[in-house]
Amino acid sequence: MNHLINRSGLFDDFFKDVAPGFYVKPLHGDPLPAQIKVDVKETPAAYTVLADLPGVPKEAIHVTVEGNVVTLRAEVKQEDRQADGEKVLRNERYFGALSRSFQMPVDIDDTASKAKFDNGVLQLTLPKKVAATGQRLNIE
């Protein structure tokens, strides 16, 4: 039994396979999300999306809007750093990409959409595309 306790990462691998969706916990620092979590609110004119992206720099976030599909993508890089003169005993790094797409009930006006990133939270303002009104044709 003692040989199981000393195996590095045994429990981490078990929970990764058995319970997907849990976060990746680095040696130091904040845990990294396994999925981008979002809140979506609606007004008559627009949707507001709040997405949690802690520890991700603004430059590593990409948002695309195509019709009524919104895609969020973030490149995540996290490293432990040691000061000069320290002996590195263990160094853990996480590199990867998080991505999430979701479909809105109506098309989004991508030309008027806005994104703001502050303190680990991405806020999207997604105006609804005004439906083209039909035009009556005169018969000649």
2.60.40.790, 3.60.10.10, 3.40.718.10, 1.10.3210.10: which CATH number matches 35-81+89-127? 2.60.40.790
Q: Which two tokens stand for residue 27?
A: 């040696």
What pLDDT digit, counting tens, does each position of 37-91 carry? 999 999 999 999 999 998 889 999 999 999 999 999 998 876 666 666 777 666 6
Query: How far is it, in rounded angstroms, from Cα 69 to Cα 23?
Result: 25
> Which of 29-33, 102-106, 129-133 is most confident?
102-106
The tens digit of pLDDT for each residue in 9-25 reads: 444 444 445 444 444 44
Q: What is the pLDDT of residue 5?
A: 43
pLDDT of residue 114: 96
Structural domain spans, the chain: 35-81+89-127
pLDDT at 97: 86
Looking up tokens 């520890």 gives 55
Sorting pLDDT into bands at 50, 70 and 90, what band is 96?
confident
Q: Decide: 72 and 63 in contact? Cβ < 8 Å.
A: yes
| Average confidence (pLDDT) over 124-140 | 83
- Note the maximum CA span of the chain: 92
Helices (H) and strands (E) in the chain, counts: 2, 7
